[in-house]
Amino acid sequence: MIELKGVSRRFGEVLAVNAISLVVETGEVCVLVGSSGCGKSTTLRMINRLLPSTAGEILVDGKNVCDTDLQTLRLNMGYVIQGTGLFPHWTVARNIGLVPGLLKWPEARIRERVDELLQLLGLDQEGFVDKYPHQLSGGQAQRVGVARALAADPNILLMDEPFGALDAITRETLQNEMLRIKQQLGKTTVFVTHDIDEALRLADRIAVMDQGRLIQYDAPEAILRRPASLFVETLVGSQDRGLKMTGLQRVGDAMQRHLHPRPRDLDKPGVREHETLRQALSLMLWQGTESLPVMDEDGAEIGIISRAQIWAGGH
């Protein structure tokens, strides 16, 4: 879907992005991560030509973005930034309907799409469509920003530190929303963050950048197991890589499954099969137990997860 070939960007004498090459496959979430000033946001902005590249090529569906009509290019790319960028004097509904309106969608279709996206993002409260940005919490406003980016059903989603200004609880909630949207919609996404834990959680592949260069481009597990340099190893945390690894794996993939589901013992704490090994281990430590029952979405006990299985799964 997206290919960068030797892409560079200069600002005067400063080489902000230095000959980056990478491919983002259709439906993948690629997360650009690195320290402040490493060139990750500049790289993102060259994809939709908010910034022109100084050298190299950027291809979308095999076509150079410089050979594509700018409006056509950007209408095919949802764009989400930190602080949302919502128009303050427009209602939620009008903000979300901006791009469909530019595309001359009928009013009825725009209203239907707004309602659909509000529901998708958990904002289907009565009267929400008529609120203004100043009436929203930070998390709600960021959800509206995501909804606006998705409104015209673009093939590509570009997200520049969208959750960076939010508190930890709201940030985790919106990360969960992103994982759910990823599963439901399968959008090709390029996501910028300085938070390695956020990158590990959301990415199919992570691009680690430092001083304008691409240091490593790999799956989260490979980044943890085989960091390409001391910089990458320091970024992911050399002391707690094993713990981070358990955050990438699901309980359902490591548990011992029962032959048949059984009613849950409500007196025993348990975990869901979609939760991570890290969440299961944390609950075990808190409860002082060696194992936990595992439940499906209906609450039936379908298996058991032990510390030994977590240890095996994490390795």
Give pLDDT tens digits for 147-201: 898 898 899 999 998 887 788 888 888 888 888 888 888 889 999 998 898 999 8
Q: Does 44 have pLDDT greater than 90?
A: yes
Cα(181)–Cα(179) distance, rounded to whole angstroms? 6
Q: Domain of 152?
A: 2-238
Q: Does 259 have pLDDT greater than 90?
A: no
What would the mean pLDDT of 22-44 be, rounded to a whole number?
Answer: 93
245, part of any domain: no
* 160-164, 227-231, 303-307: segment of lowest average pLDDT: 160-164
59, part of any domain: yes
Question: To the nearest 10°, the Cα dihedral for 168, 28, 232, 174?
Answer: 0
With b meaning 16 or more CB within 10 Å and e meaning fewer, what string describes 151-178? bbebebbbbbbbbeebeeebbebbbebb
246, part of any domain: no
Strands 2-11 and 55-60: antiparallel
Shared-domain flag, residues 255 and 229? no
Give DSSP secondary structure letters for 175-214. HHHHHHHHHHH--EEEEEES-HHHHHHH-SEEEEEETTEE
Counting the structural domains of the chain, the total is 2
Q: State residue 313's pLDDT score.
A: 63
Tokens of 86: 């919502």
CATH code assigned at 193: 3.40.50.300
Tokens of 255: 């548990």
Give pLDDT tens digits for 103-158: 889 999 999 999 888 888 888 766 788 889 898 888 888 888 888 988 988 999 99
Q: State residue 190's pLDDT score.
A: 95
Shared-domain flag, residues 143 and 26? yes
Contacts of 255 (CB under 8 A, 6+ apart): 273, 294, 303, 304, 305, 309
**What is the separation of C-alpha 13 from the centre of its chain, rounded to a whole number of angstroms?**
33
Where do runs of H (alpha helix) occur along the chain? Answer: 40-47, 70-75, 92-96, 98-102, 107-120, 138-150, 168-185, 196-202, 220-225, 230-236, 241-246, 251-254, 277-287, 307-313
Residue that finishes a domain, picked among 207, 238, 269: 238
Highest mean pLDDT among 10-19, 171-180, 268-277: 10-19
Angle between helices 107-120 and 138-150 (to 10 degrees): 130
244, part of any domain: no
CA-based nearest residue to 195, from 218, 163, 170, 225: 163
Q: State residue 18's pLDDT score.
A: 94
Q: Determine the Cα angle at 223 with ends 219 and 229, to 5°.
A: 140
Tokens of 250: 């699901």
Q: What share of the chain is helix, strand, coil (3-state, %, to 5)?
A: 40, 25, 35
Shared-domain flag, residues 125 and 227? yes
CATH code assigned at 306: 3.90.1280.20
Shared-domain flag, residues 25 and 52? yes
